[in-house]
Structure 1
Amino acid sequence: MKPEEFYHDGSRDLQRRFGSEQLADHLAHRYVLDELEEGHAEWIRGADAVYVATIDPDGFPECSYKGGLPGFVRVPDLRTLEIPSYDGNGMYRTLGNAAAVRRVGLLFLFPALRAKLRVNGTCEVLTDRDALHPHHGAEAVLRVGVTAVFENCPRYLHDPVTGEHSTHCPRPGHRPPDPDWKLKPEYDGLLPAPRSEQIEDRIQESNR
């Protein structure tokens, strides 16, 4: 995806401030897709949860956890997802936002994978019999038209089995290791200076 289509001025300003503009351009060009890959589709078919972000008509955000048995999120094709809505508290905050604004952001975490997958798209809320039929127990279906797909660095994920916190989490007296992706040759010359160096540079600039 073209960086100018993926980033807005707010993101660009922070990228310039923290020296990551070249890295961000590279990631958008190479890793942000406009449809799912087959591997992503298989991940989603095995997922038992998804976090759904929406906005209301006034622009305020909402984030909701949706869970089910593995396979509850259907992937009819690589540009479409279907998320069932089961019986809940009757507030319909997420579905109401989706019906009103029709934009959605999804975050998938996978029990057996050290991976994070983000999916953005348009959406519609369906309640007709044909839409509900493939989703046992659903009272509505959130159908998502995929517009952007990208994996996120998983370094801060904690171990769901042992409960151990990620070794990448900053803490006093601990130097977190570099994530594996930063060691790949494709990132040579693209990574910003370490945060400590950036802070020191700013202190020196402010003292001039």
Structure 2
Amino acid sequence: MSQITDLKQLTERYNEVHPLALIKEIPALEEHAITFIGNCPFVILSTSDKDGFADVSPRGGDAGFIKVLDSKTIAFADSAGNNRLDSLRNIVERPEIGMLFMIPGIGEVVRVKGTASLHTDSELLDLFSENNKPPKLVVKIDVHKLLFHCPKAIAIAKLWSEDNKVDRTFLPSLLRIIQEQTGTAE
């Protein structure tokens, strides 16, 4: 198979994009995106590492864990995790990010492109406090572009179908996987 090395080779293989698909990317949050984000319990965050490689990380919480601050700004608290801080380090060094918002049972997703920053001011921390305990920091995103993405990939994968759920027994626990990968299994 021949490698495609320029955009002309690529675009010759596809039909013209539908005009609506070209203009659906908008520069700010509006009522439907705000509603979607407010009901979203899961997002995939994309950053770039020091070598320029894309890095993705899941983030989740109760619906509304990502808050809309205004039509150009969203934010979420950094939750306790493994303390690798990959995404946070990437944001400090290269703040451009992408986000893919997903709601279980809904095929459409919302894609956001923006610039992220990390904050520790008490006003933002208090907004995300749980049981009177503020998070260590808040990730704030200045939204540059967003769009609703069609449900085709979710439908093809049957991602939300009960009939398509996989029995996990074919895979060992995460701890066992890491132990075997790193040669630390006993």
TM-score (norm 2): 0.74
2:92 maps to 1:95: no
| Matches of 2:159 and 2:87, distance apart in 1 | 29
| Structure 1: gaps (5+ residues) | 1-9, 166-208
Q: Deviations over 1:37-70 (max 9, x none)?
A: 2111111001111100000232111100001111
Is 1:154 the counterpart of 2:147? The answer is: no
- Within the candidate set 14, 24, 30, 1:19 is matched to 14
SS at match of 1:41: helix
State the alpha-carbon separation in 2 of the partners of residues 96 and 48 from structure 1. Answer: 24
**Number of aligned residue pairs:** 154
Partner amino acid, structure 2, of 1:122? T
**Aligned to 1:132, what secondary structure does the other structure show?**
helix
What TM-score results when the alignment is normalised by the length of structure 1?
0.67
Aligned partner letter, 1:143:
K
Alignment counterpart, residue 117 of structure 1, candidates 110, 120, 131 = 110
Instruction: Extract unaligned runs of 5+ from structure 2.
Output: 166-186
Superimposed CA distance per residue, residues 60-106 of structure 1 (whole angstroms, 9 cap, x where no aligned partner) = 11100001111110001121110211111111000110111111100
Q: How does 1:53-132 map to 2 (within 5 A)?
A: 53-132=46-125
Q: Give me the whole-angstrom Cα distance separating, in 2, the residues matched to 1:58 and 1:164.
A: 37
- The question of whether the paired residues in 2 share the 8 Å contact of 1:38 and 1:78 is answered with no
Contact map agreement 2:45 2:98 (CA 8 A) in 1: yes
C-alpha RMSD over aligned residues: 2.2
Distance of 1:59 and 1:32 partners within structure 2: 25
